[in-house]
Amino acid sequence: MYMYFPFRVCWIKDIVVAVTGENIEAMKSIIQKYQHKGISLVEAGVTRHRSIFNGLKVLAGDQPGSRLSRPEVVIIHDAVRPFFEEDDLLKVVKAAKEHGAAGAVRPLVSTVISPSTEGCLDHSLERARYRASEMPQAFLFDVIYEAYQQCSDYDLDFGTECLQLALKYCGTNAKLVEGSPDLWKVTYKRDLYAAESIIKERISQEICIVVDKEEKEHIGHLLEAVLRNELNHVKVTSGVPCHAGGSIQHIIEQCYSFVCVNVMTADFQNTQKLLDMLEECNLSILYPVVVFSVHFLDFEVGPLSQKMESLMWIREFAIEAKKRNILLCGLLINYSQDERKLQESLRQGAIIIATLMKERNFALVGQLLVA
């Protein structure tokens, strides 16, 4: 189970997660590992409605030992819809305060039909007159709790729609709110593929170029320009880390991709410094962080093979970094005097950085790539 966002919405007071008995321990260890706060677990029921009812009972404060206080509004959401935004929650909560209940809806993707008992078409519904009911939904707590207390065992065992319970048992006509396409349900294997791509895209929204000294900043800017060109929609920043916790520090805390620029040197001093900074801020707990140790070397000056051998140490550094969920790669850029060659090498380097940043795959850890 992968909850993308709700744990960061500050106005949500308590979160109750319904978990089947055999998954309770795994869930506890996830909560501990990612240091999530304000989460209570409740045993899932055999059906969706029974699970929700169990969660509501805990929030009602009826349960012995429950330290939760009865909320004014409760949001009901599926863990299989991980990609909603805060705004999706706000819209249903506001509508629920006014109408007593509200739920996100989406247009139907396929025509809905009713089969006859012989498995033939009986009739089809006019697509524009119906909507797909999605999550999240929000309710005045007293409305939905009353509905679950009143409803029949048949409802609890075969029902699929909370809004319907609010209507049937409390006479509350839920407000329907147009939801975003992000509310889709991760159901099939293809949805896992899509989910993986979306997560990778979301954590690859920013790349930070780190240069060691101010006099090297112009090389950082060269790389910055080609990366901007290669990575549409990605924020590219660059700077010099300062020890008083200044310029780079605040970027590090929200960025998952770093380029460490090294000019005419085959050692890893600066890269090591960056890795140490990253370790301090503990960011790589949530997602793997990508670090490129980029070395600008003039391929025509001096024997490259000697420098290559020194650069092959990247393998050892990468093994250590991998233990901390940091994906370290080496990249050689031809710092040629020939402007055309330099630009071509920069462009190749930017393509490599863009690709590995997006794919974030550990198979290429410790490789020394040549642009």
Q: Which does 367 bind (CB under 5 to 8 A by kind): a second copy, Mg ion, none?
A: a second copy
CA distance 225 to 249: 22
26 lines the binding site for a second copy (CB under 8 A): no
CA distance 195 to 312: 35
Neighbouring C-beta atoms of residue 217, cutoff 10 Å:
17
Per the structure block, which two tokens stand in for 107?
A: 């247009």
Task: Give the range of 132-140, 235-243, 251-259, 272-280 binding Mg ion by CB under 5 A.
Answer: 132-140
- Which among 112, 155, 149 is positioned nearest to 133, based on CA atoms? 112
Q: What is the residue-wise DSSP string for 170-203?
A: H---PEEEEPPGGG----SHHHHHHHHHHHHHHT
Choice from 23, 29, 69, 111 touching a second copy (CB under 8 A): 111
Please state the closest distance from residue 149 (CB atom) to Mg ion, in A.
21
Q: Which is nearer to a second copy, 186 or 283 (CB)?
A: 186
CA atoms within 13 A on the CB side of 269: 9
Q: Which is nearer to a second copy, 273 or 358 (CB)?
A: 358
Q: Which is nearer to Mg ion, 14 or 161 (CB)?
A: 161
49 lines the binding site for a second copy (CB under 8 A): no
Choice from 129, 243, 323, 340 touching a second copy (CB under 8 A): 129
- The residues in 85-124 that bind Mg ion, with binding defined as CB under 5 A, are 110-111
Choice from 237, 249, 343, 367 touching a second copy (CB under 8 A): 367
**Three-state secondary structure along 226-239?**
HHHHHCCCCEEEEE
The residue written with tokens 């600008």 in the block is 296
- Which among 109, 105, 106, 111 is positioned nearest to 125, based on CA atoms? 111
Task: Give the range of 121-129, 138-146, 149-157, 241-249 binding a second copy by CB under 8 A.
Answer: 121-129
Choice from 24, 41, 73, 108 touching a second copy (CB under 8 A): 108
Contact (Cβ atoms closer than 8 angstroms) between residue 155 and residue 165: yes
Q: Which does 336 bind (CB under 5 to 8 A by kind): a second copy, Mg ion, none?
A: none
Choice from 11, 121, 253, 276 touching a second copy (CB under 8 A): 121
359 lines the binding site for a second copy (CB under 8 A): yes
Give the number of residues in contact with a second copy, rule: CB under 8 A: 72
2 lines the binding site for a second copy (CB under 8 A): no
309 lines the binding site for a second copy (CB under 8 A): yes
CA atoms within 13 A on the CB side of 207: 30
